[in-house]
Structure 1
Amino acid sequence: MVVLMSNKKLDYKIKKNITLLPSMLQSVERAIADLRRGSIVIVAGNEHALLVQAAEGLTREALARISALSKENPSLLITARRASILGLINDPRGAVRISLADEITAEVVRMMADPTGPQPQKGLTALSIARIDQDTAPGAAELGAIEIAKLSRLLPATVVATIPKEKLSYLSSWAESESLLAVELEDIRLYRSSEARTLKNVSEAEVPLSESETTKIMAFRPPDGSREHLAIVIGELNTEQAVLVRIHSECFTGDLLASLRCDCGDQLRGAIAEINKAGGGVLLYMAQEGRGIGLVNKLRAYQLQDKGYDTLDANEQLGFDYDERIYQPAVEILNQLDISKIRLLTNNPQKVRALEDEGIEVFERVAHSFPSNRHNERYMATKQGRGGHLL
């Protein structure tokens, strides 16, 4: 994951700007919507600003418009991890900006961004390449452009061009005259944490389940109206003791369709039964499909797995880290439920550490594994051998 700021710094910034959070969230959410429908957005960094468009939806007309607005040839911006997969660099940290030659077309850009389709036939050695990371360029708008692509659940690749410096003094009015939405790098930096910190319980209802008839589902949503997370409260909660908790990332294919490519459906239903057997607890159902990359990108990863890549390598081929999830939303919901000490149903030691880093006491890790099948044997072996899961 492209790191934009440490958690402590983020918490300080959020507390300092708490009254501005709704507008900050909404500006990023509007930019996400524009990017997803193929529009150009502006990301304003420290002393510079970029025109940004998602690479996966790039058209010849959009490429020409970016050039006309910026008066320069656009660049392709990809994660350093994707660039290392392409053999362009050796360091997988941060982002890489590749200057596009005149003859490179929108089709070639889409190929470079998406490893699941046809790949460019020509080599890329003649193109100029600049690596950008948090240490060398903390105010770089390029980092915000990659992050907003990830927030949009698109491939983490964008076409960018630098806005002429003379326009920065009247950037807002210029953006409005060109019907472009501008978003601040600082708002993008704060988005994930501020969205988590502002979750509110917006509705709840009793929902008897086959594995637990005494169940209440609580929905939590941030003020910008984006993705909802669910707390499935099973049986009776006793917060004076360590509460049995499962943090489950949504999996459309496994949870709903009973896909045999993963063990998610077994883990979901098994956790509900285990919590009910224990007399009570909580299953947090988090809107972080595909370990945080979204359903479409997860299906792309499946395509790559069918070509021989394992589940970790497939995500990295797409330009993502192996695990793009964050646990601040789960911690916020636990805090709102007055749960600070838990027995965690998981096989993932990283999840234990992430919760403890956010102030949750993990009193016990409770093993939560299920038999593999011929379709997910490699997936399970990769989770254990490379992902560090205790299976």
Structure 2
Amino acid sequence: MTQSFAATAQNDSNSIPATDLVTVSRAVADLRRGEIVLVQGHLDGAVHSVAVIAAEPLSQAGFERLCDITHTTESPAIILPRVRARSLGGACEQDSFVAFVSKRQSEIDAARLGEIANPLLDLDQLPAGDWRAVSMAETAAIRLAKLARLLPAVVTVPVGADQLENLARAQNLLVLQSESINGYEDASAASLREVSQARVPLEDAENATVIAFRPEDGGQEHLAIVIDEPAKDQPVLIRLHSECFTGDLIGSLRCDCGPQLRGAISEIAKSGQGGIILYLRQEGRGIGLVNKLRAYALQDRGFDTLDANEELGFDADERVYRPAAEMLRQLGFGSVRLLTNNPEKLKGLEGWGVKVAERVPHKFPSNGHNAFYLQTKKDRAGHLF
């Protein structure tokens, strides 16, 4: 099965070469360290390239290097989410992100850019400057920051087409195409392969096996928890569960993730037919643990769970479901009974060719701390409670 799946993934029209997967993965690590990467975007035959550094880990040394190595007279731009730009007085249309360029570079340093990028800070005023639309390359750079689970804000300087290769070589910088960045998640999911498995008896399901799947670039593993021996010739009872450190591990009462995980294990074990929990590494609806904690801080100021994510510059839900579909295929299951209240999970699986034969309701009572959270999921995200 693994060989045939690999051949399918290799021929998938949405996949990108393994070398690009590795390059994007390396760029993610560079961005998290406050290093510079080069991004090239293509639109209607035009090419636009930028040197990029993430706003969150930005140091003064990194900012000065960004300005020095590009040898440009143009001021750096900081790319911000529309909601953050509006809170700072920016005139924005409907674009998701917008660029701010200071009129006097002497008024901008790393600390100031970090304050501008941080949606948890209220600023009295900005330096004098202009707002403009973002390029294809800058949009891809924001996508890269999201993949790095950083705040979606980057500082960019334009790089001429004749300068790009020399700059990359002289400064030992990675060059990424916008297409590679935007296609990374699909391609990474297509490359998943089983790397390990072991029997792991659970409190409510003693006959359980945990199977780990890893993408070719060595990224985060997703897990399949197989309980008993579900038949492959009929719809298998499954739960797609997004990783939740706070709910799953330390028993947070702000969400219902812990009860949903343990409840799914118990229900599958009691069914007598076995089933699977796919444990997906998509903390905070895909924004990562650190950003989820930032979202919690915003919720404490009155934002609901969806608005808090969007205030940070993320979509209300950034999760993808191709990893789940690929794991099911490798395990030999094409039809499922899905334990969920979220209709988007049904669409997500069916969009990647998995037949959802039945939605099995999976709800738990509120605890006094998560009532507003659950009501928001019902009223705004369409969860079927």
Q: 2:130 aligns with which of 128, 131, 134?
A: 128
| 1:30-50 CA-partner distances (Å, limit 9, x unpaired) | 101110011111112222211
Deviation at 1:85, TM superposition (A): 5.4
Report the equivalent of 1:35.
31
Residue pair 2:88, 2:125 contacting (<8 A) in 1 also:
no
Query: Which digits, 9 at most, give the CA deviation of each residue in 1:276-297, with x for residues without a partner?
Result: 1112011000000010000000
Matched, 1:80 2:76: no
Query: Offset of 1:239 from its aligned partner?
Result: 1.8
TM-superposed CA distance for 1:95, in Å, is 2.6
Partner residue in 2 for 1:114: 118
Q: Deviations over 1:51-71 (max 9, x none)?
A: 111101222332222222231
Taking the aligned partners of 2:209 and 2:384, their CA distance within structure 1 comes to 30
Question: Of the candidates 12, 18, 38, which is equivalent to residue 15 of structure 1?
Answer: 12
Question: Does 2:143 correspond to 1:147?
Answer: yes
Percent of paired sites with the same residue: 49
Give the Cα separation in 1 of the matches to 2:355 and 2:91. 40
Could you tell me which residue of structure 2 aligns to residue 3 of structure 1? none
Counterpart CA distance in 2 for 1:162 and 1:370 is 51
| Within-5 A mapping of 1:223-234 | 223-234=216-227
Please identify, of 332-341 and 154-163, the stretch whose mean Cα deviation from structure 2 is larger.
332-341
- The one-letter amino acid of 1:157's match is A
TM-score, normalised relative to structure 2: 0.91
How far apart are residue 308 of structure 1 and its match?
1.3
Give the superposed CA RMSD. 2.0
Q: 1:212 offset after TM fit, Å?
A: 0.4
Compute the displacement of 1:89 (Å).
4.5
2:170 matches 1:174: no
Match for 2:80: what amino acid? I
**2:211 matched to which residue of 1?**
218
Question: Which structure 1 residue ranges, 5 or more long, are not aligned?
Answer: 1-10
CA deviation profile, 1:107-147 (whole Å, cap 9, x unmatched): 2221222112x3321157x5322234xxxx6xx11121011
- Alpha-carbon distance in 2 for matches of 1:309, 1:149: 23
What is the Cα deviation at residue 373 of structure 1?
Answer: 1.3
Q: From the superposition, tell whether residues 271 and 86 of structure 1 become closer, same or farther in structure 2 (CA, over 3 Å).
A: farther
Which one is further off, 173-182 or 318-327?
173-182
Task: Tell me: CA distance 1:92–1:266, structure 2 relative to 1, closer, same or farther (3 Å).
Answer: farther
Q: Contact 2:92–2:98 at 8 Å: present in 1 too?
A: no
Q: What is the Cα deviation at residue 100 of structure 1? A: 2.6
Q: Which residue of the partner structure matches residue 356 of structure 1? A: 350
Matching residue of 1:209: 202
List per-residue Cα deviations over 1:195-229 (Å, max 9, x = no partner). Answer: 00010000001111011011010000011111000
- What SS does structure 2 have at the residue aligned with 1:331? helix
Tell me: CA distance 1:92–1:365, structure 2 relative to 1, closer, same or farther (3 Å).
farther
Partner in structure 2 of residue 195 of structure 1: 188
Matched, 1:323 2:317: yes
5+ residue gaps, structure 2, are 1-7
More displaced 10-residue stretch of structure 1: 181-190 or 289-298: 181-190
